[in-house]
Amino acid sequence: KDFARGKGESWVLIGPERMDSEKHWKLFKAADIPTKKTLHSSFTDAIRGTQVVQAGNKDACRMLDIGCGDGRISIELEQEEAEHGVQLQIVGVDCNQEAVEVAKQRASASPVKGGSMASFIVGQVATLDITAEQAPFDVVLCQLVVSVVGDLTSRRGLLRACHKHLKPGGVLLVSSSGASEHVNDSYKEQYDKDREVTGEYRTYYSRDADGNVLYETHHFENEELHSLVSEAGFCDIVTHEEEEASSRRPDQKAIFLYTIARKPWASK
C-alpha cells in the first residue's frame, strides 16, 4: 500500500487497492440502494425560495438530481411542490441502469396534473457533463451522494459538476453523512478498522450481514464539508446538523449534515 500525507491527520491511499465506488453502485438492485426517503425541510424551503419561484415566473423551476437512485425523491418532491403551486422540471442522473428504469416508471405513473415533467438518464455522477443538452439549472440536489461517491478527488469532481450545471445564483442542496463517533461508538470502531485500507479517518466500508463490502462511505466534519463546497466555487454556505436514525441501521443513531449553498451571480 502506498500512502500520501493529507491535511490534518488524514492519510490518503494512492495505491491500486482503493475501491471503485461507481462500479459497486452499478451492481445494486434498485430497491436495495440505501438513501434517505425524504428531504430535509430546509431543502424544500430553499427550493421555494429560488428566484424563479419567488418571481412567480411561468417557467418551471429546473432541478438536477445527481444520484437520483430510483427517482422516489424526485417524483414525490415534484408532486408535493405542485400542491404548493411550484412547478418543477427535474432531470435525474444515476450510474445504476436499473434504478434509472424504475425512476422512469415512477414518472410515467405520477399523479401530477398534466403528467410528470421529470426525466431520468444514466450518467457518471462525479464527472457529469450534460450542459449542452440540459443545463443550466436553478437547483442541484445531491442526496448523500458526496459521502459515497469515492475518494477526495471524486468528491471534488462531484461538487465541481454541481457548480457547472447551476445558473448564476442557483442553489446547491447537499445532504451527507456526518462524523458520528460521539453519538455511536460502533462508528469509531469502523473508522479505526478500515482506516489502513481506505487511507482516511472516517472513511470506511459498509458491509452486509456476512461481512461483504457493499460500498465506501465518508463521514464529514462540518468544517471539512464547508471547505470542499467553498473550494468548488460556492458561497453563502449554511449547514444544518441533525442526529437521526442511520440510513442502513435504523435502530442506531448517526449524524447527518444538510448543506445549502449558492453559485455566485458573478460566477468564478
Q: Of the ranges 9-18, 99-108, 120-129, which is most confident?
A: 99-108
- In this structure, of 109-118, 221-230, 233-242, 247-256, the range with the lowest mean pLDDT score is 247-256
Q: What is the pLDDT of residues 65-82, one digit of tens each?
A: 999 999 999 999 999 998
Q: What is the per-residue pLDDT for 247?
A: 75
User: Of the candidates 222, 237, 64, 225, which has an alpha carbon nearest to the alpha carbon of residue 152?
Assistant: 225
Q: What is the pLDDT of residues 5-58, one digit of tens each?
A: 333 333 333 333 556 777 778 878 888 887 888 899 999 999 988 866 665 666
User: Of the candidates 3, 164, 16, 141, which has an alpha carbon nearest to the alpha carbon of residue 72?
Assistant: 141
Task: Please give the model's pTM, rounded to 2 decimal places.
Answer: 0.87
Question: Which H or E run contains 107?
Answer: helix 97-108
pLDDT (mean) for 78-107: 93
pLDDT (mean) for 104-129: 91
Percent of the chain with pLDDT over 90: 61
Residue 216: partners with Cβ closer than 8 Å, 6 or more residues away: 19, 21, 24, 148, 150, 198, 203, 204, 205, 206
Say if CB 61 and CB 50 are below 8 A apart.
yes
- Architecture of the domain spanning 20-30+37-262: 3-Layer(aba) Sandwich (3.40)
Tell me how far apart the alpha carbons of residues 38 and 114 are, in angstroms, rounded to a whole number: 24
User: Of the candidates 87, 40, 79, which has an alpha carbon nearest to the alpha carbon of residue 63?
Assistant: 87
Amino acid at 146: V
Percent of the chain with pLDDT over 70: 88
Locate cell 482503493: which residue?
18
Q: Of the ranges 135-139, 172-176, 195-199, which is most confident?
A: 172-176
Q: What is the DSSP letter of 126?
A: G
Helices 72-83 & 41-48 angle (0-180, nearest 10): 60
What are the strands, taking DSSP E only, across 97-197? 119-122, 137-143, 166-178
Q: What is the pLDDT of residues 148-176, one digit of tens each?
A: 999 999 999 999 999 999 999 999 999 99
Q: What is the per-residue pLDDT for 52?
A: 65
Per-domain residue ranges for the chain?
A: 20-30+37-262
pLDDT (mean) for 195-213: 88
